[in-house]
Amino acid sequence: MSSSNEWQVDILDAVQQCVYCGYCGICPTFRELKWETYHPRGILDQIKMYFEDTTKEELKGDISKSLFDSIFACTMCKACENICIADIPLLKIWEQVRQESFKRGRWNPALLSLYNKVKNTQNIFGLPKDERVSWADLSNMVMTKRTQRKASLAYFVGCQASYSGKMEGVAASVVKILRKARVDFTILGDEEWCCGSPVFLAGGYSVGKSFAKHNLDQFKKLGVKRIVTACAGCYRAFKIVYPRILGDKWDLEVLHISELVAELLEQKKLKYKKTIKEKITFKDPCELVRHCGLIEPPREIIEMIPGVRYEDLPSNREEALCCGGGGLLKLNDADLVRQVNSRLIEEIEYSEAEIVVNGCPTCLDTIQQGVKKKGLDVEVIDIAELIKRAIGE
Amino acid sequence: MKKKTRTKFVRYLGKQMKEDFSALQIYSRDMSKLPNLTKLLFNSTPDGIILPRNAEDIQRIYNLATETRTPIIPRSGGTTGFGGSIPYNKGLVIDCKGLDRELLIEPIDQTVTTSPSIIFSELQKKLKLQGFSLCSYPSSYYSATVGGWISHGGHGIGSIKYGSVVDQIVEIQVVLPNGEIHSFYEKENISLFFGSNGTLGIITEIKLKIKFDIPLKQFGCTFDSPVELMKGLKELQEVDPFSVWFLNPSQVSAFNDSFGYNLPRSYVAIISKEISYDEEELAFSVNFNNTIRKAGGQILDKRYITDIWDFRFKTFALLKEYPDFLISEVILPIETSAKYLRKLTGLFEGSLRAEGELISNTHYSLLLYLPIKEPISDFKKTLLMLKINKHILKSKKIGGFPYSTGLWFAGYYSQIYGKEMYKHYKNFKKKIDPKNISNPGKVCSPKMRFFPLLKLKFVIRMASELL
Ligand SMILES: Cc1cc2nc3c(=O)[nH]c(=O)nc-3n(C[C@H](O)[C@H](O)[C@H](O)COP(=O)(O)OP(=O)(O)OC[C@H]3O[C@@H](n4cnc5c(N)ncnc54)[C@H](O)[C@@H]3O)c2cc1C
Ligand code: SF4
Ligand code: SF4
């Protein structure tokens, strides 16, 4: 695994800036686990001990055990970095420590297996490439003409919407929205490779970089200028990670489906035809809101639906609660995911919403499970599915 | 810790106990990083950390600790800088963050019953959803716990209107070091736990007074000198503020540097007031302006006020550029402290930054930060620390006292809370913790580790005065 200088921060220098205020204790996994070894402030302490030359070698084994355990108990929700009063780039630090753990051969088997699956099959499920567009068959859609055609807009479906039965409605909804608005677009089809998000999250740098290059080549080949996605993970990868690793070569405009819908509504290319009577709330996905600062478009397009009854969750926007499913935590500690998720489910219950709208497949899956477990009568859908309903498709 | 003692705890606690190197290091410090030299005075590395889930766990821990004479050190957010939540000489740190309890808001009585480990920001969020608010809270709003604040003896935003946290406690449940679980309702007994730094047991449940959530509006002013500032602090009480918070000139400069402001290098005060209607705001504004003029101050340009107020929980951020810093806190009387404040502000070539909060009709708290511009030796850092200490102790002459005892100011309880209260504290402590297992070394000055003929208070005072 290689690394790039711009990608890296000087860990010891960054750790030094911590003023020990403890605000990062809002960390959703620390809140559940309680030990200060999981407190981001405590993780920084461990990082210092691990990387400092003055630490005795014989202690480093012990230190690394606790440090790597803590670093993989993180959902990468960015709540810590968001609140950090010293502006420490905590997420970059967490990524670097994950890389260090990979280098030392300390990834757990589930994580390693995911990594290998993505590396070998270019999707997170390890499924054949030629099944990438099978979601279209399931939705009775024909995508042959759209696949690999030249167009300035590309819809990047993402692994979850492409392969997961639970997400099958998401891709179909996006396509219906685009068709309804008569937008010319293309999809990469079999040549769509995982955006690399899970690999980057696990700290896998060079594999992720080869994915980024492949996807960029594909977009360039088709003359793509803008990409739309309904997946918060892909969106983050395109918005934040690709520019970091591809530099100026990455000159494409990236849109979340909510941003594109807002634009299409404004241009009157899209019109709502149906009222939606159920009370709606929106769970800000961490990767949209804290990582990319995407806050208003989802709310704007929901609030424009005729007859809508919308209310934010008590913790919303930058302060939104994490669903627990990010950072590959599911592969490390499924119980912890459920614990973190239960806090969000409490807020959903409090909101009395009948539909919880979301913009991230990971959140969607985690929230659906949480709602089911709590026995709530709440529908959990992607924002693309909601818009599809509102335009009468 | 003896092997036999360890086995006893491990057998009972299993996974609720941690002893690995990393954990021991993390729990051996609090907000302020003590210079290594202080290791001669304290051994703050614990033998283990325990995460109890309920009062019964704590009861059992205290029983085992009494049997084995093991020091028990309660800790919650670990956000104070007085050493209260770290061991004086080894022992077991009890991490209270595992003490969960469902929140109970009673709208008619206007009270909330909560676990001690709830963070202020979280509690406030839950109260606001029901239209209520905390009466007062510390500026470590996002990390401090209610239990930690009570034990530390905290004051904060809102204290001038609603009093300190002790004035808001209706009932407190404590596991005493003798293993009894006890609820206290009487002011006299509740007061014992305020500033007790975990020496009287572990707080496991708290019923607090709350208030309606009335919007806060901010107003600002500046004062050229400590004399005017003190006059202002007195006059401002007439306008019934929710909070009066001020910055000294070097802290104002730090704001100027960080935000590109052009504030005058004087004392800047931000006053917060509960205001429900526009008309009320207008009337208050006139009243406020007159009050400030009467005190010899100037009205602060509106555009700065909200920005500074919004930064009130984050002023520690102004230290991030520095390789190191020292902090301390003192409580001073309004009437007699102008000269002292001027002197303090001039120390260390004027680099000592200060933030004050009016906490009663007569006193204000003053948080001091000394940014250390270049990396310095451990020895030098210790000297600086002792120097700050010296000046805090000097405040006694004008009726001031350290903010809390903790470890660093152990032995100053009677100066802070008065002789009567100290007597009450001592009698109670003797009754419930005869073996002194609950946070030894805090509140009352301990004997020196290596030279038990001397007390820690004496050694620190002598070292400070020699400077
Ligand atoms: C940015 C910042 C701003 C601050 N502003 C303020 C302020 O405005 N006002 C103020 O008063 N302080 C302030 N502080 C100091 C500190 O944050 C507060 O006093 C805080 O309330 C301490 O709570 P804690 O949970 O961190 O307690 P800890 O530091 O963990 O413990 C404090 C003391 O209480 C004891 N203790 C902890 N939990 C229990 C329990 N359940 N039962 C019995 N004893 C217990 C400990 O042994 C220790 O002696 C500030 C600190 C920071 C970092
Ligand atoms: S990213 Fe989220 S889960 Fe990870 S340490 Fe920060 S707050 Fe905790
Ligand atoms: S919020 Fe930032 S400065 Fe404060 S303790 Fe956490 S990492 Fe350190």
Q: Which CATH number goes with the domain that contains A295?
A: 3.40.50.1860
Walk along chain B (467 residues) and give the pLDDT tens digit of each residue.
889 999 999 998 888 999 999 999 999 999 988 888 888 888 999 999 999 999 999 999 999 999 999 999 999 999 999 999 999 999 999 999 999 889 999 999 999 999 999 999 999 999 999 999 999 999 999 999 999 999 999 999 999 999 999 999 999 999 999 999 999 999 999 999 999 999 999 999 999 999 999 999 999 999 999 999 999 999 999 999 999 999 999 999 999 999 888 898 999 999 999 999 999 999 999 999 999 999 999 999 888 998 899 999 999 999 988 989 999 999 999 999 999 999 998 889 889 999 999 999 999 999 999 999 999 999 999 999 999 999 999 999 999 999 999 999 999 999 999 999 999 999 999 999 999 999 999 999 999 888 888 888 898 888 888 77
Identify the helix (H) or strand (E) that includes residue B299.
strand B298-299
Question: Minimal Cα–Cα distance from A163 to chain B, Å?
Answer: 39
Give me the pLDDT at residue A205, please.
79
Q: What is the mean pLDDT of chain A?
A: 94
Report helix, strand or coil for A34. Answer: coil
Q: Which ligand has the minimum distance to the alpha carbon of residue B199?
A: 1
Question: Minimal Cα–Cα distance from A343 to chain B, Å?
Answer: 12
B285 lies in some domain: yes
One domain, residues A330 and A284: yes
Here the tokens at position B368 are 């001091």
- Residues in chain A with CB shorter than 8 Å from the CB of B51 are 34-35
pLDDT surpassing 60 at residue A260: yes
| Boundaries of domain holding B346 | 216-402
Residue A159 CA to residue A319 CA, distance in Å, equals 28
Name the domain count of chain B: 1
Tokens 């780039």, residue located: A89
Nearest to B200 by CA among B448, B454, B427: B427
Q: Output the CA angle B150-B153-B158, nearest 5 degrees.
A: 80
One domain, residues A114 and A259: yes
Instruction: Give me the CATH number covering residue A18.
Output: 1.10.1060.10
Record: contact B49-A65, CB cut-off 8 A: no
Nearest to B203 by CA among B58, B78, B405: B58
Here the tokens at position A366 are 């985690």
Query: Which residues are bridge partners to A101 per DSSP?
Result: none
Report helix, strand or coil for B444. Answer: coil
Stronger pLDDT, B14 or A50, i.e. the higher one = A50
- CB-ligand 1 contact for B152 (6 Å cutoff): yes
- CB-ligand 2 contact for A84 (6 Å cutoff): no
Q: Are A362 and A160 in contact (CB under 8 A)?
A: yes
One domain, residues A127 and A254: yes
Task: Give the residue on A whose Cα is nearest the Cα of B319.
Answer: A19
Using N-to-C axis directions, what is the helix angle for B226-236 and B278-295, rounded to 10°?
140
- Residues in chain A with CB shorter than 8 Å from the CB of B31 are 20-22
Name the domain count of chain A: 3
Record: contact B26-A46, CB cut-off 8 A: yes
Estimate to the nearest angstrom the gap between the alpha carbon of A82 and the chain centroid: 16
Tokens 């990047």, residue located: A156
Instruction: Give me the CATH number covering residue B257.
Output: 3.40.462.40
Identify the helix (H) or strand (E) that includes residue A184.
none
pTM of this structure = 0.96
One domain, residues A147 and A243: yes
Q: Are B35 and B382 in contact (CB under 8 A)?
A: yes
B291 lies in some domain: yes
pLDDT surpassing 60 at residue A185: yes
pLDDT surpassing 60 at residue A164: yes
Q: What is the mean pLDDT of residues A350-378?
A: 96
Task: Give the residue on B whose Cα is nearest the Cα of A42.
Answer: B26
Given A264, A299, A331, the domain boundary residue is A264
Record: contact B22-A17, CB cut-off 8 A: no
Locate the ligand 2 atom nearest the alpha carbon of residue A38 and give its number.
Answer: 5
| Boundaries of domain holding A151 | 110-264
pLDDT surpassing 80 at residue A204: no
**Residue A210 one-letter amino acid:** S
**Residue A58 one-letter amino acid:** E
Locate the ligand 2 atom nearest the alpha carbon of residue A91 and give its number.
Answer: 1
How many CA atoms, within 13 angstroms, populate the side-chain half-sphere of residue B256?
14
Nearest to B48 by CA among B8, B79, B81, B82: B8
**Residue B102 one-letter amino acid:** E
**Residue B78 one-letter amino acid:** G
Sheet (strand B17-18) strand order? B17-18, B48-50, B92-95, B72-75
DSSP string, B204-247: EEEEEEEEE---EEEEEEEESSHHHHHHHHHHHGGG--SEEEEE
Give me the pLDDT at residue B38, please.
83
Report helix, strand or coil for B370. Answer: strand
Record: contact A49-B25, CB cut-off 8 A: yes
Give me the pLDDT at residue B453, please.
85
Give me the pLDDT at residue A5, please.
55
Interface of B with A (CB under 8 A): 18, 20-23, 25-27, 29-33, 49, 51, 77-79, 95, 97-98, 119, 121, 125, 129, 140, 142-144, 313-314, 316-317, 319-320, 323, 325
Query: Which residues are bridge partners to B244 per DSSP?
Result: B271
Q: How confident is the model at residue A6 (pLDDT cuts 50, 70, 90)?
A: low
Residue A38 CA to residue A23 CA, distance in Å, equals 13
Here the tokens at position B282 are 């207008």
Give me the pLDDT at residue A1, please.
36
| Range list of β-strands (E), chain A | 153-156, 226-229, 253-256, 279-282, 309-310, 355-358, 379-382
One domain, residues A276 and A252: no
- CB-ligand 2 contact for A39 (6 Å cutoff): no
Task: Please give the C-alpha separations between residue B437 and each of A336, B189, B427, in angstroms, as whole numbers.
Answer: 35, 20, 16
B252 lies in some domain: yes
B249 lies in some domain: yes
Q: What is the mean pLDDT of residues A1-10?
A: 62
Question: Minimal Cα–Cα distance from B173 to chain A, Å?
Answer: 22
Could you report the per-residue pLDDT of A267-300, keeping only the tens digit for each? Answer: 999 999 999 999 999 999 999 999 999 999 999 9
Here the tokens at position B327 are 């902090």
B18 lies in some domain: no
Residue B16 CA to residue B216 CA, distance in Å, equals 43
One domain, residues A159 and A277: no
Q: What is the mean pLDDT of residues A139-144?
A: 91
Q: Are A230 and A384 in contact (CB under 8 A)?
A: yes
Given the DSSP bridges, would you call strands B181-184 and B111-114 parallel, antiparallel or unpaired? unpaired
Q: Are A7 and A206 in contact (CB under 8 A)?
A: no
Task: Please give the C-alpha separations between residue A315 and each of A151, A232, A346, B219, in angstroms, as whole numbers.
Answer: 39, 19, 11, 29
Record: contact A37-B129, CB cut-off 8 A: no
Question: Minimal Cα–Cα distance from A221 to chain B, Å?
Answer: 46
B304 lies in some domain: yes
- CB-ligand 1 contact for B243 (6 Å cutoff): no
CB neighbours of A357 closer than 8 A, spacing ≥ 6? Answer: A280, A281, A282, A283, A298, A302, A381, A382, A383, A386
Task: Give the residue on A whose Cα is nearest the Cα of B97.
Answer: A34
Given A235, A264, A293, the domain boundary residue is A264
- CB-ligand 2 contact for A325 (6 Å cutoff): no
The torsion defined by the Cα of B6, A22, A72 and A331, in degrees rounded to 10, comes to: 100
Residue B136 CA to residue B411 CA, distance in Å, equals 28
DSSP state of A231: -
One domain, residues A76 and A191: no
Question: Minimal Cα–Cα distance from A15 to chain B, Å?
Answer: 11
Q: Which ligand has the minimum distance to the alpha carbon of residue A33?
A: 2
- CB-ligand 1 contact for B195 (6 Å cutoff): no
Interface A–B counts its CB contacts (< 8 A) at 90
Given the DSSP bridges, would you call strands B48-50 and B17-18 parallel, antiparallel or unpaired? antiparallel
Could you report the per-residue pLDDT of A299-349, keeping only the tens digit for each? Answer: 999 999 999 999 999 999 999 999 999 999 999 999 999 999 999 999 999
Q: Which of B29, B32, B317 sits opposite A86 (nearest CB)?
A: B317
B382 lies in some domain: yes
- CB-ligand 2 contact for A332 (6 Å cutoff): no
Record: contact B97-A66, CB cut-off 8 A: no
Q: Are A176 and A265 in contact (CB under 8 A)?
A: no
Residue B127 CA to residue A314 CA, distance in Å, equals 12
For chain B, the first-to-last Cα distance in angstroms comes to 37
- Residues in chain B with CB shorter than 8 Å from the CB of A39 are 26
One domain, residues A130 and A247: yes
pLDDT surpassing 70 at residue A110: yes
- Residues in chain A with CB shorter than 8 Å from the CB of B20 are 62, 65-66
Q: Are B460 and B389 in contact (CB under 8 A)?
A: yes
Q: Please, which contacts does B393-398 make with residues 24 or more away whose CB atoms are closer than 8 Å?
A: B393/B461, B393/B464, B394/B340, B395/B330, B395/B332, B395/B337, B395/B340, B398/B332, B398/B333, B398/B336, B398/B337, B398/B339, B398/B340
Given A264, A285, A315, the domain boundary residue is A264
| Range list of β-strands (E), B21-139 | 48-50, 72-75, 92-95, 104-106, 111-114, 132-134
CB neighbours of A111 closer than 8 A, spacing ≥ 6? Answer: A72, A202, A328, A331, A332
One domain, residues A353 and A247: no
Locate the ligand 2 atom nearest the alpha carbon of residue A24 and give its number.
Answer: 7
| Range list of β-strands (E), B68-180 | 72-75, 92-95, 104-106, 111-114, 132-134, 169-175
Q: Are B441 and B407 in contact (CB under 8 A)?
A: yes
